[in-house]
């Protein structure tokens, strides 16, 4: 939660530092400039997507090599730029009108292969709500988002490994039926619930000669568990 708060604060700081200071001009000029910026941004984005669609249509009629040659010789743009336009056009085809609120730089970032869909949805929702999405903010948030996903993935992997290891240990020590099975289950529970140090202490106590040779072992165990249960009930 604190990490999210810090990220939100950083995003706000980045947005403030990247926005033009409209307070430095008269109110009427500021209003005009805001409108112009919005129209130019929308026109650039719309043109980018339309060019990408036109390139995709042309590509269907040519081999890959011939298409690249046509793009560079006839259209007059680098092949890499054309590929970026086509990628954005394909990506934006099912994103609705919200993409018009985003700058071309943001579209390039979001349409890159491997960007999580949950991250894209969050950016689109914020853009639709009227938030100005700066490319630098998208880069930082995407980096943090991916780091969080890797951390969660690693935790799940470790948990699965521990669970599998616990199952194998249980299968290895559990005899068939009788009190031995109950004892094996008890040991497995202790192994999963205690730290390595505490488990070693319990093992040394339970397997000591003084405990195992005590004829009143069963009564002592029952009395100890009843005492602990009574204490827990009072908490």
Residue-wise pLDDT for 214-234, tens only, equals 788 888 778 777 766 555 454
pLDDT at 15: 47
Angle of helix 135-173 versus helix 117-128 axis, rounded to 10: 140
Residues 6+ apart with CB under 8 A from 133: 101, 102, 103, 106, 123, 126, 127
Give CA–CA dist 235/182, Å, rounded. Answer: 28
Q: Rg (Cα) of the chain, in Å, rounded?
A: 32
Angle of helix 178-193 versus helix 196-206 axis, rounded to 10: 150
Residues 6+ apart with CB under 8 A from 35: none
pLDDT at 178: 59
pLDDT at 156: 53
The pair of three-digit structure tokens given for residue 179, joined into one six-digit string: 């009190």
Residues 6+ apart with CB under 8 A from 55: 71, 75, 82, 85, 86, 89
- CB–CB of 132/15 below 8 Å? yes
pLDDT at 17: 52
Give CA–CA dist 201/224, Å, rounded. Answer: 17
* Residue ranges in the chain whose pLDDT is less than 50: 1-9, 11-12, 14-16, 170, 173, 232, 234-235
Could you tell me how far CA 148 lies from the centroid of its own chain?
5
Global confidence as pTM: 0.53
Q: Where are the domains of the chain?
A: 20-131, 157-234
Give CA–CA dist 91/103, Å, rounded. Answer: 14
């Amino acid at each position: 939660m604190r990490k999210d708060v810090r990220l939100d604060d950083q995003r706000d700081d980045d947005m403030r530092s990247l926005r033009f200071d409209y307070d430095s001009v008269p109110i009427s000029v500021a209003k005009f400039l805001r409108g112009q910026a919005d129209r130019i941004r929308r026109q650039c984005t719309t043109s980018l997507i339309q060019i990408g669609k036109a390139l995709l249509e042309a590509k269907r009629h040519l081999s890959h090599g011939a298409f690249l040659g046509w793009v560079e010789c006839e259209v007059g743009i680098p092949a890499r730029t054309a590929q970026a336009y086509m990628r954005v056009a394909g990506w934006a085809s099912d994103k609705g009108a919200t993409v018009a609120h985003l700058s071309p730089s943001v579209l390039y970032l979001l349409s890159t292969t491997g960007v999580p869909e949950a991250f894209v949805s969050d950016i689109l929702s914020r853009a639709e709500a009227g938030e100005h999405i700066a490319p630098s903010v998208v880069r930082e948030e995407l980096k943090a988002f991916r780091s969080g996903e890797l951390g969660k993935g690693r935790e799940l992997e470790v948990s699965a490994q521990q669970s599998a290891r616990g199952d194998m240990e249980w299968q290895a020590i559990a005899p068939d039926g009788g009190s031995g099975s109950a004892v094996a289950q008890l040991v497995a529970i202790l192994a999963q619930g205690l730290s390595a140090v505490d488990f070693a202490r319990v093992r040394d106590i339970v397997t000591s000669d003084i405990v195992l040779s005590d004829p009143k072992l069963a009564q002592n165990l029952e009395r100890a568990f009843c005492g602990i249960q009574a204490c827990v009930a009072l908490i």
